[in-house]
């Protein structure tokens, strides 16, 4: 039980960190993100 809790906690923290980094990156490079929107949409549906 203890191992499962820590594994789930660390995994969710890693997912939160990756998501936060992605949001920060897109906010930082807004113009680049807008120019490449089609690539992001295509990746989402892949």
27 found inside a domain? yes
C-beta atoms surrounding 33 within 10 Å: 14
Mean pLDDT of 13-35: 93
8 found inside a domain? no
Distance separating alpha carbons of residues 35 and 20, to the nearest angstrom: 21
Distance separating alpha carbons of residues 32 and 30, to the nearest angstrom: 5
Q: Is the pLDDT of residue 36 over 70?
A: yes
* 3-state DSSP assignment of residue 10: helix
Task: Provide the residue range defining the domain that includes 26.
Answer: 16-45
10 found inside a domain? no
Mean pLDDT of 30-46: 80
> What is the number of domains present in the chain?
1
pTM of the model: 0.64
* 3-state DSSP assignment of residue 46: coil
Local confidence band at 46 (pLDDT 50, 70, 90 cut-offs): low
32 found inside a domain? yes
């Amino acid at each position: 039980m203890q191992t499962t809790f820590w594994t789930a906690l660390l995994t969710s923290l890693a997912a939160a960190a990756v998501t936060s980094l992605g949001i920060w990156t897109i906010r930082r490079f807004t113009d680049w993100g807008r120019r490449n929107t089609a690539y992001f949409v295509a990746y989402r549906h892949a």
